[in-house]
Amino acid sequence: MGMTITEKILADHAGEKFVEPGQFVNVKLDLVLANDITGPVAIKEFKKLNTPQVFNREKIALVPDHFTPNKDIQSAQQAKELREFAKEQELTNYFEVGEMGIEHALLPEKGLVLPGDLVIGADSHTCTYGALGAFSTGVGSTDLAAGMALGETWLMVPESIKFVFKGKLKPWVSGKDLILYTIGQIGVDGALYKAMEFTGEAIEELSMDGRFTMTNMAIEAGAKNGIIAPDEKTIAYVRERAKRPYKVFSSDPDAKYAQIFEFDASDIEPQVAFPHSPANTKPISEAAGIPIDQAVIGSCTNGRIEDLRITAQILKGKKVSPYTRLIIIPGTQEIYRQAVKEGLVEIFLDAGAVVSTPTCGPCLGGHMGILAEGEKCIATTNRNFRGRMGHVTSEIYLASPAVAAASAVKGRIAAPEEVR
């Protein structure tokens, strides 16, 4: 019997020729990741182990991105703990403000995650790196501490679900729309502790930025990981970034799947997830007209250069609606720099948007866009749970950059065609 791409990566890192769902494996790690929220807890637990050194100072990445630039004394203290540990351990991959970015946009950009890698991170959206054909998953801070010390962890091999997207994408439909549609179909627990494997003509059509968006939100369906087999686009992306060898895996034709879903991408409209669940999705034709107070374009889900280009395409020559706030957050310093070079930032400023330094910020209710009582926000972020971005009576609608930008112009949820 054949294996899926997820099973092959786990087998490779466990030193096994074959693994199957339900099997427990001890696997070697290529990268261990923490941020300014989860990192201090992991560091505390690491020190309890009385291990003087991390297993490999080049395979630990610390990225202060959630509450940075520091919003208050407590967040400053957390960032300080990360900084001091990085100095003490002489970590190669510590990224300070001015050099950092939102972790899940930054690490692929730096070539720190490659096809065939096995990555754990103390952040649930670590599953983003599956877009490169890597196995990546979120863990707790205690498991991360053990990973930093040992360079390995144990996992149960997940079953895989295959999602086949046939057909061509409609105008303005993106990876964000495909993943919101998928979560709407199967629910927030529809892939619980399973691998979500995305394939088909529409996936092949997606850019790497669009693929990162899809695998980023696999966790919102409860998945252990999301993954897309590497193709020519993947190799072109990593070729100019990779600083070490990597392995390319793909699923065998006779691999076993727990379920297979087939969707016709040509039938999928831009999607909007209504409060208070990423699974509460509706097509834009059923969502248009809801007034909004704020729009946020950014996060580890949609803060990449393609997202900013689409946003600029919508906003050029337009103005943000009066009394509506539009906050745009590039995912990394390099993305910010590219947006400046291309004149995108000028378009944003002319439209009346505010542009932030890279930060997770409002996505988790951190800063840079907290919502007041009863306010409504359309966001390109990944979660819209009650109170996620501020007051418990506020509402978050999840959408693509195209829909969020159009909505900011109209002051209500709107389709991109309405402003083009």
For residue 388, tell me if it sits in a domain.
yes
- β-strands 24-28, 152-156 pairing: antiparallel
Q: Kindly report the length of the chain.
A: 420
Q: Residue 312 in contact with residue 406, Cβ under 8 Å? A: no
The two three-digit tokens of residue 160, written as one number: 């895989």
* In a shared domain, residues 306 and 177: no
Residue type, 201: E
pLDDT score recorded for residue 328:
98
Q: What pLDDT, in 10s, does the model give residues 149-199?
A: 999 999 999 999 999 999 999 999 999 999 999 999 999 999 999 999 999
pTM of the model: 0.96
Residue 236 domain flag:
yes
* 290 and 258 housed in the same domain: no
Same domain, 254 and 306: no
Last residue of a domain, one of 262, 281, 306: 262
- Considering the domain boundaries, does residue 268 fall inside one? no
- Domain end point (choices 237, 262, 287): 262
253-305 pLDDT tens trace: 999 999 999 999 999 999 999 999 999 999 999 998 999 999 999 999 999 99
Question: What is the Cα–Cα distance from 277 to 208, expressed in whole angstroms?
Answer: 26
CATH of the domain at 230: 3.30.499.10
Residue 420 pLDDT > 80: no
**Do 100 and 214 fall within a single domain?**
yes
Is 93 part of a structural domain of the chain? yes
- Domain termination site, one of 207, 229, 262: 262
Whether omega for the bond prior to residue 69 falls within 30 degrees of 0, making it cis, is yes
* 302 shares its domain with 206: no
DSSP summary character for residue 357: P
What total number of domains does the chain contain? 2
Per-residue pLDDT of 9-60, as tens digits, reads 999 999 999 999 999 999 999 999 999 999 999 999 999 999 999 999 999 9
Q: Average pLDDT for residues 207-233, to the nearest whole number?
A: 98
Contact (Cβ atoms closer than 8 angstroms) between residue 103 and residue 61: yes
Residues 92, 21 within the same domain: yes
Q: The dihedral of CA 179, 182, 183, 184: what is its sign?
A: positive
On whether both 253 and 277 belong to a single domain, the answer is no
Mind listing the pLDDT tens digit for each residue in 175-186?
A: 999 999 999 999
pLDDT of residue 339: 98
- Residues 252, 285 share a domain: no
Percent of the chain with pLDDT over 70: 100
Domain assignment of residue 134, yes or no: yes
Structure confidence at residue 1 (pLDDT): 82
Q: Which residues constitute the domain of residue 90?
A: 5-262
**One domain for residues 282 and 248:** no
Mean pLDDT of the chain: 97
User: Average pLDDT, stretch 136-146?
Assistant: 97
For residues 247 and 131, state if they share a domain: yes
Rounded-to-integer distance, Cα 420 and Cα 415, Å: 9
Judgement on whether residues 249 and 290 belong to the same structural domain of the protein: no
Handedness of CA 384, 404, 297, 114 (dihedral sign): positive
3-state secondary structure of 368: coil
Q: Are residues 166 and 291 in the same domain?
A: no
